């Protein structure tokens, strides 16, 4: 492997392996770490902090090996940026440094690092520490999924959505960026349950959740079961045009499932109605206003005949 191939930030092996991101400006260190982990992990590489943060916005590695001493943006600053972002805060970071100063180690732990590895590397120690952190990450993810995932549909639950709404509202406010919310209701679902039974109703909700999830392409987008036959979608950094496109694609995706619904007054298949609200946070505003507006728009879509989208910029 040439140095150019080695430092390619999109370098990837098998996607069913845990992904490690190496962030280091020294090719020799990269080569050593790559040789240690290449057989068991998907190894990706960036050579500075800015590239690392950009990479993590697009693909979230399972663990990051982060050099401390880098130009422009040191490892502590990179770690702090990762931990302040809801999308990347859960990624464990192991600092890699040639400095065995305990004060530096304490600084790294204060910044959110999970562990420290000192150069030169001892292969078995490095592998053991990475394995330990990945095991902890798997356990944490499992516990989180039990708390934050709706057990019927497999998408996020109301608790997760409420948490993400608050966090994304604050983040988008700091960035002066639009936040879009789509409230979704399955049309005439009570009649569906009455006609086909509750087991069929559960299967219908699972199919709808899957169809809605497939429309979303970004890791930052969230689809959640809001309650009963209602779903909600959160789209950070998304203007009204983009939110309308996604909502329309969701409406089509569910209709195209072709689930029979002979009692529906909209079509002869299961359909959804959607309310789309978009806002850029202003002083004194709250995410409750965004949710309230989406609810009103959903009500308008249902009153207009259902199986359609209504949208508004706040």
Helix, strand or coil for residue 184? strand
**Residues paired with residue 96 on neighbouring β-strands, in sequence order:** 67, 117
Any catalytic annotation for residue 77?
no
For residue 313, give the H/E element and its range.
strand 309-313
Beta strands 63-67; 179-186: pairing state? unpaired
Cα angle value 303/304/308 (rounded, 5°): 110
> What are phi and psi for residue 16, nearest 5 degrees?
-85, 0
DSSP 8-state secondary structure symbol assigned to residue 305: T
CB 270 within 8 A of CB 192: yes
**Residues paired with residue 63 on neighbouring β-strands, in sequence order:** 20
CB 183 within 8 A of CB 297: yes
Single out the residue of 228, 259, 71 nearest to residue 157, CA to CA. Answer: 228
**Tokens (6 digits) for 244:** 């309308």
> Which residue is catalytic, options 229, 241, 251, 265?
229
Active site positions, annotated: 229
């Amino acid at each position: 492997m040439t140095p150019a191939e080695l430092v390619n930030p999109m370098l990837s092996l098998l996607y069913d392996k845990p992904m490690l991101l190496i962030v280091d400006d020294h090719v020799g260190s990269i080569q050593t770490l790559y040789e240690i982990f290449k057989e068991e992990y998907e190894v990706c590489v960036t050579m500075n902090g800015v590239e690392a943060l950009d990479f993590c916005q697009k693909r979230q590695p399972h663990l990051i090996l982060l050099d401390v001493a880098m130009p422009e943006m040191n490892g502590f600053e990179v770690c702090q940026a990762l931990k302040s972002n809801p999308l990347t805060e859960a990624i464990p970071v192991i600092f890699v440094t040639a400095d065995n100063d305990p004060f530096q180690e304490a600084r790294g732990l204060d910044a959110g690092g999970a562990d420290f590895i000192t150069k030169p590397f001892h292969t078995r120690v490095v592998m053991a520490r990475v394995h330990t952190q990945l095991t902890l990450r798997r356990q944490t993810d499992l516990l989180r999924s039990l708390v934050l995932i709706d057990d019927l549909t497999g998408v996020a639950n109301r608790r997760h959505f409420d948490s993400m709404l608050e966090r994304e509202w604050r983040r988008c406010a700091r960035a002066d960026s639009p936040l879009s919310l789509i409230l979704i209701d399955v049309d005439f679902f009570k009649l569906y349950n009455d006609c086909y039974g509750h087991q069929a109703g559960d299967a219908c909700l699972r199919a709808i959740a899957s169809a809605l999830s497939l429309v979303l392409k970004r890791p930052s987008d969230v689809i959640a079961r809001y309650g009963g036959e209602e779903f909600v979608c959160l789209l950070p950094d998304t203007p009204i045009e983009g939110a309308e496109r996604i909502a329309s694609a969701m409406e089509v995706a569910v209709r195209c499932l072709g689930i029979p619904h002979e009692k529906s007054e909209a079509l002869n298949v299961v359909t959804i109605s959607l309310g789309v609200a978009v806002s850029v946070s202003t002083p004194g505003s709250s995410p409750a206003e965004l949710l309230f507006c989406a609810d009103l728009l959903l009500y308008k879509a249902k009153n207009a005949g259902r199986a359609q989208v209504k949208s508004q910029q706040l």
